[in-house]
């Protein structure tokens, strides 16, 4: 590509972070749209790809070989929209950092207005919102609209700043703000804006501007029912002063559901085969609950480290073993506290928490290991 202006060789004033997954078909179109919009701006666009099987990263790198304003970060063994966005923002040295999707639903023409607003020394962040007069959301499906609206309502529990669309995935922020909050941000989840707003130590000066949320062009939606669990975990994480990790909350939520599965299975086995007796039915119900917990944790809690194929068998065996040891720890701690004169429910609660923490640690170390 022929360099047509000095802007293309100047250090970027604006870095545009675009987390992508299986969006090979959108890359060239998005770059062309951004280039046509930011004609008088020194910019760069950083695609952060979670090792897409469709070859998105290679496609970006082929384009980057012709245009120094295009960069690619390929993440291997890591998944998650928030984590990808954080890595992209921290790789920037520009004064301002923008975040937008790679599916062409975000209107790139709004970047000019956002940049004009944030250049004011009194502005820390500009949010492109779908929720103000003059904005439109034709690209928001019923399911995504429900999750977004519900998340917006719940976000008021942890976000003190009054903004119209804390669930927006399209925003611009001063890089020093990102550097300050980065150690506090959770890499799990999907709504990085809400996390930044909740984690900032100071009240940010924010401006909002409306935009048209377009129909999806290509690629896969990153917003589904599973990420709603992440968001609930994010809220709990902040409500506990960031003491409880998002992943541990999800692990506990799956475990609570496992209790329901266990009791339902126990009732089923006792009713269909009363001759088996309680002990055999209890054993079968225990393994049924373990299998349910393993599957749900694999799909929800550890979906960024999801195991597949034959590894599912060994993974389940290790998970069942760690849970069995966790039960022993549970009983031991509960018995110790109860024998010390404490009330039964306090002893039981302490045992349950101990068992859950043990299972959580061993699952992360041995079942869903970081690659």
24-28, 209-213, 231-235, 320-324: segment of lowest average pLDDT: 231-235
For residues 203 and 297, state if they share a domain: no
Is 1 a member of any domain?
Answer: no
Is 101 a member of any domain?
Answer: yes
For residues 97 and 159, state if they share a domain: yes
The band of 171, judged by pLDDT with boundaries at 50, 70 and 90, is: very high
The band of 3, judged by pLDDT with boundaries at 50, 70 and 90, is: very low
For residues 10 and 157, state if they share a domain: yes
Task: Please give the tally of structural domains in the chain.
Answer: 2
> Which of 104 and 239 is assigned the larger pLDDT?
104
Residue 54 pLDDT more than 60? yes
CA nearest neighbour of 168 among 195, 142, 186, 143: 195
The band of 118, judged by pLDDT with boundaries at 50, 70 and 90, is: very high
Question: Which residue, 239, 255, 279, sits at the end of a domain?
Answer: 239
CA nearest neighbour of 166 among 178, 156, 176, 175: 156
For residues 90 and 224, state if they share a domain: yes
Residue 227 pLDDT more than 90? no
For residues 215 and 269, state if they share a domain: no
- To the nearest whole percent, how much of the chain has pLDDT over 90? 38
Is 108 a member of any domain?
Answer: yes
> Which of 46 and 270 is assigned the larger pLDDT?
46
pLDDT of residue 217: 56
Give me the sign of the Cα torsion angle 170, 172, 176, 177. negative
For residues 285 and 216, state if they share a domain: no
For residues 225 and 313, state if they share a domain: no
For residues 212 and 273, state if they share a domain: no
For residues 279 and 170, state if they share a domain: no
Is 307 a member of any domain?
Answer: yes
pLDDT of residue 156: 66
For residues 275 and 322, state if they share a domain: yes
Question: Which residue, 224, 239, 254, sits at the end of a domain?
Answer: 239
Report the CATH number that the domain containing residue 176 is assigned in CATH. 3.90.550.10
For 65-103, the pLDDT digits (tens) are: 999 999 999 998 777 888 899 999 999 999 999 999 998
What mean pLDDT, rounded, does the chain reach?
83
Question: Domain limits at 259?
Answer: 246-367
pLDDT of residue 235: 77
For residues 234 and 272, state if they share a domain: no
The answer for 358, left when phi > 0, alpha when psi is -120 to 50, beta otherwise, is: alpha
pLDDT of residue 146: 55
Question: Which residue, 208, 239, 270, sits at the end of a domain?
Answer: 239
Contact 230, 190 (CB under 8 A): yes
Continuous segment of H or E residues that includes residue 14: strand 14-20
Residue 148 pLDDT more than 60? no
For 278-307, the pLDDT digits (tens) are: 788 888 888 888 999 999 999 888 887 889
């Amino acid at each position: 590509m022929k360099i047509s202006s000095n802007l293309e060789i100047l250090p970027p004033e604006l870095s545009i972070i675009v987390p992508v997954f299986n969006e090979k078909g959108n890359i060239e179109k998005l770059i062309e749209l951004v280039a046509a919009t930011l004609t008088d701006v020194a910019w760069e666009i950083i695609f952060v790809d979670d090792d897409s099987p469709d070859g998105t990263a290679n496609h970006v790198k082929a384009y980057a070989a012709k245009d120094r304003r295009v960069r690619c970060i390929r993440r291997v063994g890591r998944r998650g929209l928030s984590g990808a966005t954080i890595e992209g923002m921290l790789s920037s040295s520009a004064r301002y950092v923008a975040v937008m999707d790679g599916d062409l639903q975000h209107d790139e023409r709004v970047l000019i207005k956002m940049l004009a607003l944030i250049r004011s020394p009194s502005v820390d962040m500009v949010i492109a919102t779908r929720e103000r007069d003059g904005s439109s959301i034709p690209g928001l499906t019923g399911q995504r609209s429900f999750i977004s609206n519900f998340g917006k309502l719940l976000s008021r529990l942890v976000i003190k700043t009054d903004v119209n669309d804390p669930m927006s995935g399209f925003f611009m922020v001063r890089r020093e703000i990102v550097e300050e909050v980065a150690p506090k941000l959770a890499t799990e989840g999907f709504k990085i804006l809400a996390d930044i707003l909740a984690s900032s130590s100071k009240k940010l000066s924010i401006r909002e501007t409306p935009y048209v949320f377009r129909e999806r062009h290509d690629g896969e939606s990153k917003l589904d029912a599973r990420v709603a669990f992440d968001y609930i975990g994010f809220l709990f994480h902040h409500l506990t002063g960031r003491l409880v990790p998002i992943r541990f909350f999800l692990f506990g939520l799956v475990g609570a559901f496992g209790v329901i599965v266990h009791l339902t299975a126990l009732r089923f086995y006792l009713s269909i085969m009363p001759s088996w007796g309680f002990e055999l039915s209890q054993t079968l119900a225990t393994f049924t609950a373990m299998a349910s917990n393993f599957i749900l944790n694999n799909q929800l809690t550890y979906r960024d480290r999801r195991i597949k194929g034959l590894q599912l068998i060994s993974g389940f065996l290790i998970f069942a073993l760690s849970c069995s040891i966790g039960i022993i720890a549970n009983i031991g701690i509960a018995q110790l506290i109860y024998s010390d004169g404490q009330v039964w429910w306090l002893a039981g609660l302490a045992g349950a928490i101990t068992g859950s923490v043990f299972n959580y640690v061993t699952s992360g170390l041995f079942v869903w290991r970081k690659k």
